[in-house]
Amino acid sequence: MASYERREPMASDDEIAAAISELNRLDCEHVEFDDIVEKVRFLFDGLALEANVIEPGTKLYRGRQMDSAPKHIRELYYPPPEYVNGFQRCNRPGKPLFYASGNMATLLSEIKTKVGSTVYISEWVTTAQLFCFYFPFRQPQKNITGARVQTFVENRFSQPIHETFSSQYKITAAISSLIVGEDIGFADSAENGPKLGGLIYPSVAHPARSENVALVPQAADNSLKLLSVTSFKIVSVENHEYKFEELDFCSNFSYDIINWKGYPGSWQIKNLPAGGEISAIFDGYTWQMIDHAGNAIPKT
């Protein structure tokens, strides 16, 4: 756990209350994004922000619904800037982020899977420490002015918006851009410490409010490794519970090429000592195999 604090003094409570009221009344469709950024910047002057370190070995999941199987790893990655033509939860047009979820249940809710659709879910693992700010703040602010900002941020990040791209995302995108976008970059982190990776924020789509991450491209490029990609057909969806059939699997990649097996993945048990045991753990969506030494057995 760590915090980041801006040098400028925070405005008075009345000024902050007035600024929040103005932001809540904005017609985001007709207000320039840079103007919204400046209004949001005013709220954050002098505010201590909470941050977490994502440790190496953390699993992240990213998914796409596609008509045909992806052939290249780049199809599973964050999109090129020219394809980001609208505002999303944490980014402005032309500024892609690597969005992912901490588990498959949240991911399936986020990508709004439907019965009969084919979903390609990629599993990634962090290879270095990443320093990520948490929104909304999990620790209460120490004064009423900070608490006002905290409530405002929480309301904005928990607001359901049903379009992939929407001007209604401008305010959360402005908050994000101040923290990990134009103002602070990946290279600005301490040389020997965790790299500044992005934001952690709760899912609006999943009722458990599980965590999503939005990583800046440099963090994704330098601190993520692709473990596998699996093709699933969605069989049923009810109350955020999903049943699916695994169609295909790949954990063998040739540079940018996805080498699909043509059938579901499996676990190969090798060098099991006499009397050794294998544990099978089901998390509600996928199985994980654990060997006698407590190590996860990779699916191939």
Out of 18-22, 107-111, 211-215, pick the least confident.
107-111
pLDDT number for residue 237: 76
**Distance, CA of 300 to CA of 282 (rounded, Å):** 17
Whole-number percent of the chain with pLDDT over 70: 75
Q: Is residue 273 domain-resident?
A: no
pTM for the whole structure: 0.83
Residue 279: band (very low, low, confident or very high) from pLDDT cuts 50, 70, 90 = low
| 133 has pLDDT over 80 | yes
Q: Is residue 271 domain-resident?
A: no
Q: Is residue 155 domain-resident?
A: yes
| 115 has pLDDT over 50 | yes
The amino acid present at 224, given as its one-letter code, is: L
pLDDT number for residue 127: 94
Out of 17-21, 69-73, 194-198, pick the least confident.
194-198
pLDDT number for residue 188: 45
Rounded to an integer, the average pLDDT of 286-300 is 62
**Distance, CA of 226 to CA of 59 (rounded, Å):** 10
**Distance, CA of 61 to CA of 119 (rounded, Å):** 12
The pair phi, psi for residue 235, each rounded to 5°, is: -95, -40
Q: Which long-range contacts (CB under 8 A, 24 or more apart) does 269-274 make?
A: 269/297
Residue 272: band (very low, low, confident or very high) from pLDDT cuts 50, 70, 90 = low
pLDDT number for residue 1: 39
Q: Is residue 292 domain-resident?
A: no
Q: Is residue 6 domain-resident?
A: yes
Per the structure, the count of domains in the chain is 1
Q: Is residue 196 domain-resident?
A: yes
Q: Is residue 189 domain-resident?
A: yes
Q: Is residue 55 domain-resident?
A: yes
pLDDT number for residue 4: 42
Tens digits of per-residue pLDDT, 180-226? Answer: 754 444 444 445 555 678 888 887 766 566 788 999 998 999 999 99
**In which domain, by residue range, is 156 found?**
2-258
**Distance, CA of 60 to CA of 103 (rounded, Å):** 7
**Distance, CA of 32 to CA of 87 (rounded, Å):** 12
Residue 283: band (very low, low, confident or very high) from pLDDT cuts 50, 70, 90 = low
